[in-house]
Amino acid sequence: MKELKQFIAGKYDVVVIGAGHAGCEAALAAARMGKKTIMITLSLDSLAMMPCNPNIGGTGKGHIVKEIDALGGEMAIATDKAMIQFKLLNTSKGPAVHSSRAQTDKRIYHVSMKQVIEDEYNLDLIQNEAIEIDVVDGKVVGVNTKSGAYYETESAILCTGTYLKGKIYMGEVSYEGGPGGLFPANELSASLIENGIILKRFKTGTPARVHKDSIDLNKMEIQEGDAEVIPFSFMNDKIEIDQVPCYLCYTNEKTHEIIRDNLSRYPMYAGKMEGVGPRYCPSMEDKVVRFSDKPKHQVFVEPEGLDTKEMYIQGFSTSLPEEIQIAMYRTIEGMENCKIMRPAYAIEYDCIDPTQLKRNLEIKSIENLFFAGQINGSSGYEEAAGQGIVAGINAVLKQNGKEPMILDRSEAYIGVLIDDLVTKGTNEPYRMMTSRAEYRLVLRQDNADLRLTEKGYKAGLVTLERYKKFIEKKNSIDVEKTRVMKKIVNPNAQVRALLEKLNTVPLKIPTSMYDLLKRPEIRYDDLREIDPDRPEVDKVVRRQIEIQIKYEGYIKKQFRQIEQFKRMEYKNIPESIEYEEIKGLRIEARQKLSKIRPDSLGQASRISGVSPADVNVLVIYLEQQKRMKKTNE
């Protein structure tokens, strides 16, 4: 511990540093699981802040929000409270890639989350800056703050977002700063480095906000929400809101010309920024350069809330000078007279190399020090929150002497996210997409509660109320699915008329309703008129039954693939293994395996630089060690 003017401000089981989406989920999880917890944040006004887009969910990300909810987290509930528009994405494709997306009121989201945290019995919230992690004999013992307050603790969870040595860029202008006009955290990075933690530098950016009264929305294409609003949280049966529209407009050749003429003032091209930005969320400068053949790019104009006239310019992030931003935005039809309320900027920040982490999100070199969110090299509110709840749960499980909760790639998108980060690492801010999940047919957002509620309940986070609701839904699905399998439909006149109306092949022999439902032309509700005995079944249950029946063959095939995956995943590798001593392993494989130290053959097989031949060598070596152990016994 440094020689600082300090005082012992309290003793806590868990200290959470940062109050963004990762911090909120981590702190709530720890507190709700019975641990005395404190969350330290640079500003109480930044709690659950959305410094970038005013949305929750989206492709792949909606799955994560549903999974957080199933585990007993708060993000989905807060989103349902703050929602001002809803869309279900990818509906032209199969249910595996259907993703919910909500336009939210940023202020309502912040206020609702802050109220939940303030009301949590085991959770204290304080505005301060954490400047040092106190480590003794390789274990966390406390956290030092700028005010001199020292918090003794059993575990610390770092959820610092983009604040660590944050630096803002707008053209030639650069200065130390955090997102949303807040202060950066400049001292904690040094403490991490002193403790042997490897840091890297990433960057991200955000578009400008313009005044609603200064733009002509009539010149833009209106983007309404879906007629049916589907709640994010499984605890909510329905949501009734007056949805607010968004708007679509386009850049043009004049916009692109201004960008090309000012590329020398783009900090990245000028060599002023060392951080690596997200490939899947490029700035407008990068779009114009990379896709020089495109005459225009989509730009969405989205409200930041119900009681503000700030409009978020989705898809138009930039770090060019403010005067160039004004000129660019004003080339867009409908924005000719726009007034910028908050200019766009890029932010560069410190994060860790996530391959230093175990799959429970504890760093390998320091006991009881966990990391979650953008400090792990990820990007996005949802990815951060997903890591936060896992880190919070695992910090508590470790203190309680229990096995960690590891979500593998076949169980959750959160599992894919964490496995990718800690096993493969990342050279740019990591963003979740459905294409990253090889078992996505069984990792649908509609069955997240069926997949994960049991795990959350066993961990001690899911409430009895939620668990009872889950069991009731599960039983309803099983009972109705069994009834549908046994229900026989005869080829009578009524049935023939219905099938003709649905443009499907007529029946020639008695067939189960289960087999009828496998036909792509037939929906569960279509069969109501020939099924007088059908009980009243909730819409969510009906949808689940339909998906399970229609995709049964594909789902069974995927489960067979998962069984093969599990066989490798369950073959544990001892922590004490010395890879340098294993003959037959290539040098690169030895180095990578020694660095990552995978806990299973499955994880070893996913490390970049470890070939199938290397895995075979490992299999043989482990089998030999097993035989030798038996012989010695």
Q: What is the pTM of this model?
A: 0.95
CB-based contact 397:29 (threshold 8 Å): no
**Could you give the CA distance from residue 621 to residue 618 in angstroms, rounded to a whole number?**
5
Q: What is the mean pLDDT of residues 539-559?
A: 93
Q: Roughly how many angstroms between the first and final C-alpha of the chain, as a whole number?
A: 46
d(CA 335, CA 251): 11
Report pLDDT digits (tens) over 25-56: 999 999 999 999 999 999 999 999 999 999 99
201-227 pLDDT, tens digit per residue, is 999 999 999 999 999 999 999 999 999
The mean per-residue pLDDT over the stretch 577-581 comes to 91
Convert the pLDDT of each residue in 422-446 to its tens digit.
999 999 999 999 999 999 999 999 9
Ramachandran quadrant class, 588 (left: phi over 0; alpha: psi -120 to 50; beta: rest)? alpha
Beta carbons within 10 angstroms of residue 241's beta carbon: 12
How many helices and strands in the chain, by DSSP H and E?
Answer: 19, 21
Residue 325, helix vs strand vs coil: helix
Query: 302 pairs with which residues across the strands?
Result: 312
Tell me: pLDDT of 4 over 60: no
- Tokens 């951080």 belong to 275
Region 294-298 average pLDDT: 95
pLDDT per position as a tens digit, 502-539: 999 999 999 999 999 999 999 999 998 899 888 888 99
Average pLDDT over the chain, rounded to whole? Answer: 94
Higher pLDDT, 141 or 632: 141
Delineate the domains of the chain, giving CATH numbers in brackets.
7-457 (3.50.50.60), 464-555 (1.10.10.1800), 571-632 (1.10.150.570)
Mean pLDDT of 225-251: 96
Closest listed residue to residue 15, CA positions, set 26, 7, 6, 5: 26
Residues 391, 394: Cα–Cα separation, whole Å? 5
Tell which residue, 212, 163, 210, has the closest CA to residue 184: 163
